[in-house]
Amino acid sequence: MNSSRLCSHSPYFSLCYRSFIPSLRSHLLLTLPLSRYPSLRKLAPLRAPRRTRKLDSFCSPSISSSMASPSQSQGDPSEARPFSVLFVCLGNICRSPAAEGVFRDIVKKRGVDSKFQIDSAGTIGYHEGDLADPRMRAAAKRRGIQITSISRPIQPSDFQNFDLILAMDKQNREDILGALERWKFRETLPRDAHKKVQLMCSYCKKHDDTEVPDPYYGGPQGFEKVLDLLEDGCESLLDSILAQE
């Protein structure tokens, strides 16, 4: 086709423009942190914040099915499949890798580590391939907790592979659900995938905080606060999951 004929008034140009712009916008929304670019939020399909269930009444269908009796599990009939948990924050270098490390430490100390698959991810891929923030690793090490995860962004398959996806704050949860809304049009994902997404602090019993704050731009006390919340929430999280066995 002669390129000189592709003017802005031609039907072909209009069709290409309408097809290209939405895909470009979706790509930007998936790769840019909406919390740092407020002007982009109006472009993203936002959901109204969902009321977080209290711990004592929370019973996710995924928890019940994953910790099912051996006869109900898939694969090896003599053993239930591991319950899978994914922790998510913005860049996957501070809060979510710390949550992964804390939860791994707790399940190991309780002798149930073989029953779990644990990982972490970020809503953006800016730090993909990086180790966790050295300040976060140092703070955790002082408590005897090792953080060895490598940063990665959340991906569509996570909604299939994980039974529970825990966001560190409300913006993380909003971004996760926004990505799910876009991905479900081109991926085969569980219909109830949105039910897997919860807030980490919904499991805290000793703290009234509703979010795990990002310590990246703060001082040492911020990293200690994160670990305090995560240790509280992860202990209760494990109790909740094991109670469904």
214 included as an active-site residue: yes
CA torsion angle for 225, 54, 235, 173 (degrees, to 10)? -60
Point out the catalytic residue in the list 133, 169, 175, 214.
214
Return d(Cα 8, Cα 216) in angstroms, integer.
Answer: 46
Q: Sign of torsion, CA 202 207 208 211?
A: negative
173 included as an active-site residue: no
Beta strands in the chain (DSSP E): 83-89, 116-122, 164-167, 197-199
Mean pLDDT by 10 residues, the chain (245 residues): 44 42 44 49 40 35 42 49 98 99 99 98 98 99 98 98 99 99 95 98 98 98 99 99 91
pLDDT on residue 97: 99
Point out the catalytic residue in the list 95, 104, 137, 173.
95
Identify the structural domains of the chain with CATH numbers, from first to last: 81-242 (3.40.50.2300)
pTM to 2 decimals? 0.71
Point out the catalytic residue in the list 89, 94, 204, 234.
89
95 included as an active-site residue: yes
